[in-house]
Amino acid sequence: MRINVTRGALPTTPVENSPPKITKPKTVAAGIPAVYSTLKHGLKKMGTISSIRNFNRVNKFNGFDCPGCAWPDPASRSIAEFCENGAKAIADESTKNRANPDFWSKWTVKELSEKPDFWLNNQGRITHPMVLHEGEEKYQAIDWNGAFQIIADKLAGLSNPDQALFYTSGRTSNEAAFLWQLLARSFGTNNLPDCSNMCHESSGVALNQSIGIGKGTVKLEDFSKSDLIIVIGQNPGTNHPRMLSTLRDAKLAGASVISINPLVEAGMGRFKHPQKPLDILGRGSKIADEHLIVDVNGDQALFRGFSKYLISNKSIDEKFIQEFTTGFEEYSTIVEETSWSQIESNCGIDKDSICRVASYIANSKSIICCWAMGLTQHKNSVSTIQEITNFCLLRGNIGRPGAGLCPVRGHSNVQGDRTVGINHDPPQYLLDGLLREFGVPAPENIGSDAVESVIDMISGSAKVFLSMGGNFLSAMSDSVKTAEALKHCELTVQISTKPNRSHLVTGKTALILPCLGRTEIDESEIGLQFVTVENSMGVVHSSVGHARPASHHLMSETSIVAGIGHALQMTGRGNEEIDWKSLGQDNDLVRSKIEKVIPGFNDFNIKCRVDGGFYLPNPPRDGRVFETETNKANFISSKLNSISISEGRYCMMTIRSHDQYNTTIYGLDDRYRGISKGRRVVLMNIQDMEEEGFHESEIVDIPSHFNGRIIKSQSWFVVPYDIPRRNVATYFPESNVLIPIESVAEGSNTPTSKSVEVSIAKSSELP
């Protein structure tokens, strides 16, 4: 048997040997420290001139879409419409460092895997296509045609199209994503796992069943018309900083804000707008009027409590319920049957506090509910999000100004990717459209999602893994199993900008295909190209890069997909009708195809050239039309089903620090939480620490427990933190190793990254 050389490569970043520095968490977000951090990251990585050029073009008409998050742009944009963390994302892409063939020739993949994730990312932009041949220990440069040929030959050699997996990360443009799914489906498979499977899949599944669309129902302008904005399981100060400006403006217009979170996050305290001088110097604006400190995984119970109050006090909109919904009777029965004691024990908040807030809710005319990963990555996520939808339906808080549901997306185009066809379980109109426009017949089977892909690779039923962006190994749960899965493959291919761990734990043969980033000029043989993206509120708009590409060997994502498609066609295995050559050169042509296949894109090429872009249709938002099986909005009744944690164990959530973008680690500080110079920390309630006999920075081991399986991880530093008892928090992706691949949300199959049953033990061996 041949040896896979990456077999010895580390699947996770190495452990840290020195303890972090711990100070008091901050109560104010942004302000001068954010301006300082923006400049520091910009100047250090890009240099002065590029910093000014790039920061000036972000989120502007004819500029590029900030790769930081999917929060929409306001109609009147300020001189610098971005935030500290958006600036870090831009600086990171525009770095002067280069991971060129010299760099790759210095290190074996095993040696690289022994470096921390932080170091890997800092090596800079990948400049050339690279190949790791079977049996070799180092990557070497390869020309583009050679790389495409390897992929085409491997794909053509598969006995069944479902042996290939086409992963997508949500930074990919609409045009590249559309071509990517066309490539997969023309090859004959729906195997299109994506980062959304680990992210907002639970929101999509829940909302589709409840209101007939897997997206939110508010526009940005609704925030200033709202009386009450509830922010649930979200840390906007770090992950959606521009949302804080929206919340601040909504408050100035009279709204109240409630944050529901086990942690009091700095952004939800006070906020100093970094682009408003008076704000910077003053005390800033208070954002949350109320923090409800819910236990991890307690939201379903909490919202059940709100509904119980509203129904028993008849604070409901009977006319709306009658006209637009079904299932109310059943829901009110199940609500009535749920006891207050069960609600209190599941969410960790007492009845009086729930009723006090509910009475406030009863007096608020228009309510928006926003949420992110704190809600979507639990076993009961789908039913929790449906409970929140039920709560909104009770008072008709949907499809009218200032009210609605707002799942806040993460990656800047994750919503658009799904719209244009990145979906392992595609809608019929998409399949019909592909047949009509390209003569591509529907693939035989429903595809695999992210978790199923890991299982397919381990079992050998998938042999080729192709990745459009992202870092599958580090982003997925159960890092060791995911590594085993990738190592089982014949070929792994990563279309990337920067080095990451998925380049180091690979199949027998591995390719890295370096692509242009958002900020860069995309010039094809027929002229300058731009792409489009869809933000969290369904607005599609253009993104135009202006910077000189990091290397003249880079190709755009669209031309890479077309290159693979064309090479596959040459083997006789691809669909003959698709004109890959033209599609790879001409994004207008791709957009004209999107227009013909996906509803809502009429006059796409005209509308995407208008400043601000255009809204995709959204029936619940636009006209209280619910395209469900019942043609109504459905109250969906579920039993309360929070996870139960055994005596002596903890419920662990895995969260982001202020210095990371998902698996890309910019630095070792989490400024708002007062933790610096280290990421291998476990945040613990001080009373739990005392009970366990732990001191600050004590080194502990963490075993996770799931259905009899125990996974151990060593060397974590204990940090005392204001977190509910029996809850702990660690950073993603270091702790992904502890999340069992089998532990998923019911209905959406999303890894339960926010509720992992763990115990915490004194370390058996000191470093």
Three-class secondary structure of residue 522 per DSSP: strand
Distance CA 654, CA 512 (A): 29
When asked if residue 229 is in the footprint of ligand MGD (CB under 6 A), the reply is no
Q: Is 20 exposed, middle or buried (0-12, 13-18, 19+ CB in 10 A)?
A: buried
When asked if residue 37 is in the footprint of ligand MGD (CB under 6 A), the reply is no
Continuous segment of H or E residues that includes residue 459: helix 450-459
Q: Which stretch binds ligand MGD (CB under 6 A): 105-113, 166-174, 283-291, 418-426?
A: 166-174
Nearer to ligand MGD, 328 or 734 (CB): 734
What burial letters (b/e) apply to 77-86, b meaning 16+ CB within 10 Å?
Answer: beebbbbbbb
Residue 232: φ, ψ to 5°:
-115, 125
Minimum distance, C-beta of residue 410 to ligand MGD, in the bound complex (Å): 2
Q: Which chain residues interact with Mo ion by CB under 5 A? A: 199, 410
Q: Which residues contact 644 (CB under 8 A, 6 or more apart)?
A: none
When asked if residue 113 is in the footprint of ligand MGD (CB under 6 A), the reply is no
Nearer to Mo ion, 410 or 507 (CB): 410
Nearest-CB residue for Mo ion? 410
Q: Which stretch binds ligand MGD (CB under 6 A): 17-25, 184-192, 238-246, 596-604?
A: 238-246
Three-class secondary structure of residue 675 per DSSP: strand
Nearest-CB residue for ligand MGD? 410
Q: Which of 664, 749, 634 is nearest to 171 (CA)?
A: 664
When asked if residue 492 is in the footprint of ligand MGD (CB under 6 A), the reply is no
Question: Hey, what amino acid is at 732?
Answer: F
Nearer to ligand MGD, 34 or 633 (CB): 34
With CB under 5 to 8 Å by kind, the binding choice for 69 among ligand MGD, Mo ion, none is: ligand MGD
Q: Which stretch binds ligand MGD (CB under 6 A): 2-10, 107-115, 163-171, 389-397?
A: 163-171
Minimum distance, C-beta of residue 665 to ligand MGD, in the bound complex (Å): 9
Distance CA 280, CA 492 (A): 48
Q: Which of 706, 762, 543 is nearest to 57 (CA)?
A: 543
Q: Which of 516, 529, 548 is nearest to 609 (CA)?
A: 529
Selected from 214, 233, 396, 426, the binder of ligand MGD by CB under 6 A is 233
Minimum distance, C-beta of residue 375 to ligand MGD, in the bound complex (Å): 6
Distance CA 270, CA 291 (A): 12
Beta pairing, strands 491-496 & 464-468: parallel
When asked if residue 680 is in the footprint of ligand MGD (CB under 6 A), the reply is no
Q: Is 538 exposed, middle or buried (0-12, 13-18, 19+ CB in 10 A)?
A: buried
Q: Token pair of 319, please?
A: 């006319």
Three-class secondary structure of residue 137 per DSSP: coil
HSE value, Cβ hemisphere, 13 Å, CA-based, for 503: 33
Three-class secondary structure of residue 512 per DSSP: strand
With CB under 5 to 8 Å by kind, the binding choice for 299 among Mo ion, ligand MGD, none is: ligand MGD
- Other Cβ atoms less than 10 A from the Cβ of 243: the count is 28
With CB under 5 to 8 Å by kind, the binding choice for 470 among ligand MGD, Mo ion, none is: ligand MGD
Selected from 557, 688, 698, 757, the binder of ligand MGD by CB under 6 A is 557
Interaction mask 320-359, ligand MGD, x per CB under 6 A:
----------------------------------------
Nearer to ligand MGD, 89 or 633 (CB): 89
* SS (HEC) of 524-577: ECCEEECEEEECCCCEEEEECCCECCCCCCCECHHHHHHHHHHHHHHCCCCCCC
With CB under 5 to 8 Å by kind, the binding choice for 593 among ligand MGD, Mo ion, none is: none
When asked if residue 489 is in the footprint of ligand MGD (CB under 6 A), the reply is no
Using CB under 6 A, count the residues that bind ligand MGD: 59
Nearer to ligand MGD, 440 or 668 (CB): 668
Selected from 11, 396, 410, 538, the binder of ligand MGD by CB under 6 A is 410
Question: Hey, what amino acid is at 452?
Answer: E
Residues 262-301 binding ligand MGD (CB under 6 A) are 262-263, 265, 294, 296-297, 299
Selected from 54, 149, 569, 753, the binder of ligand MGD by CB under 6 A is 753
When asked if residue 261 is in the footprint of ligand MGD (CB under 6 A), the reply is yes
Selected from 308, 411, 566, 573, the binder of ligand MGD by CB under 6 A is 411
Selected from 13, 471, 542, 587, the binder of ligand MGD by CB under 6 A is 471
Q: Token pair of 362, please?
A: 């009863």
Torsion sign over Cα 581, 583, 587, 588: positive
Binding site for ligand MGD (CB under 6 A): 68-69, 85, 169-171, 195, 198-199, 232-235, 238-240, 260-263, 265, 294, 296-297, 299, 372-374, 410-411, 468-472, 475, 495-498, 500, 515, 517-518, 557, 653-656, 660-664, 732, 736, 739, 753-754
